Amino acid sequence: MIPITVVDVRDAEDLVVEVLRSGAIAQGPMVKRFEDAFAAVSGTKHAIAVNNGTTALVASLQVLDLKPGDEVITSPFTFVATLNAILEAGATVRFADIRRDDFAIDTDAVAKVVTDRTKVLMPVHLYGQTADMGKLAPLAAEHGLQVIEDSAQAVGASFEGKQAGSFGIGCFSLYATKNITTAEGGVITTDDDALADKLRVLRNQGMRARYQYEVAGHNYRMTDLHAAVGIPQLAKLDQLTAARQANAKRLSEGLAGTPGLDVPQVLPGREHVWHQYTVLVGPHAFLSRDELAAALTERGIGNGIYYPKIVFDYDCYAGHDLIPGARVEDFPVAQAVAAQALSLPVHPHLTESDLDTIIETVREVLGA
């Protein structure tokens, strides 16, 4: 089996042992070291480590002091954490349709759903490429909106030289399958000193110092053990990204012209870090998306469907009073992409033989 992803954190063994031998494994100097390294990578003044990517989104919304009825606009084509975080923060969710070329929220669609109650724009940088921040950021500024970037899959990605997570408040996931992992973990990035201070207090049960409580807080802390896993990966992020980019280029060259298959695009001005290599299996392909996925699995090629439905199209969200008026049919691009998207292996551990096998098998089963 050629797996859809490979997790290799053996470079962290020395730092993990160092933490274990220190006897202090909760948040401490290793977390600070990780935060400093992450801030340098993201091009921001502050990086605040937390215990997962969902927490990063929740905490970022909480420090904005949203009131009941305040709206957050986001993408209907995303992992459920995006939606869950908004609901947990008590905000009202509004969705805007996506673009087919970058899988991200469409600026024109956002402009149509902004109201005087809208307070936050939350674009999702999906699969490793940023949304069109050249249009989204000015639109947010025009309407006085805070920007929270769901950058869970986009560490190292950039738009016209500006890093993902540096257009407002950036929220990253460090889950086991991400390009940079701490097994579980997340990071919030910002250039705003006051927001960074509020986030650090919030994540530590609202304490400025021991038993000096300033807000009703939470335990959102990362441990030194988790930070130790991530530090060596940050040091070689450029190398890991370059391998993914080379693999994606090889896949796109090999799969170009396959009937019914659209390969992913790298749009002008964007640095794609290829968390996922996601093709679209169109309606005129020899096999449907689900049939192609099954055929590849049978032939030993890992693949993934991210994501099979629009994010709110599940019974648990039906009639939810914090998602007013959301109907699947109102998002035709997202609906089509959810039915067609299929991710193929692109991770740094693929061999030339693996890449050849993936390309040859996809073309074969699609009748190319």
Question: Would you give the end-to-end CA distance of the chain in angstroms?
Answer: 23
- Which string of DSSP letters, residue by residue, matches 156-220? T-EETTEETTTTTEEEEE--TTSSS--SS-EEEEES-HHHHHHHHHHHBTTEEETTEE-S---B-
Tokens standing for residue 295: 């055929």
Task: Single out the catalytic residue among 32, 119, 162, 178.
Answer: 178
Instruction: Compute the C-alpha angle 280/255/77, nearest 5°.
Output: 20
Query: What Å distances lie between residue 241 and 289, 338, 349, CA to CA?
Result: 27, 26, 12
- CA-CA distance, 156 to 367, in Å (whole number)? 36
94, β-bridge pairs: 73
178 is an active site residue: yes
| Cα within 13 Å of Cα(192), Cβ side | 19
- CA-CA distance, 98 to 129, in Å (whole number)? 14
Q: Which residues contact 201 (CB under 8 A, 6 or more apart)?
A: 207, 208, 214, 215, 217
Number of H helices, E strands in the chain: 12, 15
Q: Of 41, 22, 20, 29, whose CA–CA distance to 233 is shortest? A: 41
Residues taking part in catalysis: 178
